[in-house]
Amino acid sequence: MKQNSRGDAPYFTLPDECRAVAEALFPPAGGAASAAAPGDFADALGAGGEYRRLLGAGRGTDEMRKFLGHFQNNLDLLIQKTWVEKTDEARKERLQDRVPPFVELIVAGDFRRATAEFGLILEELAYLLFGSESSGDGFAEYVFRIDTGMGLFWWYGSRLRSKGGELADGVADDERLWALLLVGICYLTNF
């Protein structure tokens, strides 16, 4: 871990093999991502083929509705299969309740709200999968040690969470927000 530019809290440095694709998707200093960045990032996660197929299919198609149904079912199964303490059962149920409205935001084309909501869903899912470790400073490093692709995905999730509405407000094009969301949706559908 290194110190940030202000010299206070430590931050995680991406592994060299992930840095270029990650910084292309979320450029440092608020630069604009290239149009190819989401596809390249999806490739790094192993979801590039599905990402490109679905991006080309269009949002209102039967294929997309079917895919979003698979996403919702898989995420629901993933949430159900997590083992949590009795005290966290309500948290697990709240997360399950968040998924259908998130999918409705996607279907409605409200990508600004969907981006912020997806970041919150990923934060809760990380907690269910990894426990309180998911909110610690060393979480990214921990997950990268388990699996590089999984680490890259959770890094992506942390960027969505940290930016939230700011990310959506900083991207003028809804198509770019949709592309950014579709990367994570494709990954989780096959998680």
**2 sits in which H/E element:** strand 2-3
Residue-range definition of the domain harbouring residue 133: 36-189
Residue 4 resides in a domain: no
**90 sits in which H/E element:** helix 89-108
Residue 1 resides in a domain: no
The answer to whether 186 touches 54, Cβ cutoff 8 Å, is yes
Whole-Å CA distances, 122 to 32, 132, 164, 184: 23, 14, 12, 9
Segment 3-10 mean pLDDT: 36
Segment 69-98 mean pLDDT: 90
Burial class (CB in 10 A: 0-12, 13-18, 19+), 162: exposed
Rank 5-14, 24-33, 56-65, 117-126 by mean pLDDT and report only the highest: 117-126
The pLDDT value given to residue 163: 58
The pLDDT value given to residue 8: 33
Q: Say how far apart CA 129 and CA 87 lie, in whole Å.
A: 15
CA 5 vs. chain centroid, Å, equals 26
Q: Structural domain tally of the chain?
A: 1
Residue 180 resides in a domain: yes
Say how many C-beta atoms besides its own lie within 10 A of residue 33's C-beta.
Answer: 18
The better pLDDT of the pair 31, 44 is held by 44
Share of the chain above pLDDT 70, in %: 87
Segment 42-58 mean pLDDT: 93
The pLDDT value given to residue 172: 54
The answer to whether 119 touches 164, Cβ cutoff 8 Å, is yes
Residue 14 resides in a domain: no
Residue 8 resides in a domain: no
For residue range 112-128, list pLDDT tens digits in order: 899 989 999 999 999 99
Residue 27 resides in a domain: no
Residue 15 resides in a domain: no
Residue 3 resides in a domain: no
Segment 70-75 mean pLDDT: 96
- pTM for the full predicted model: 0.86
The answer to whether 148 touches 15, Cβ cutoff 8 Å, is yes
Rounding to the nearest 10 degrees, give the CA dihedral for residues 147, 164, 36, 14.
Answer: -40
The answer to whether 182 touches 51, Cβ cutoff 8 Å, is yes
Whole-Å CA distances, 28 to 23, 70, 146: 6, 34, 26
For residue range 16-28, list pLDDT tens digits in order: 889 999 999 988 7
The pLDDT value given to residue 160: 79
What confidence category does residue 11 fall into, taking pLDDT thresholds of 50, 70 and 90? low
Does 6 score more than 60 pLDDT? no
The pLDDT value given to residue 86: 83
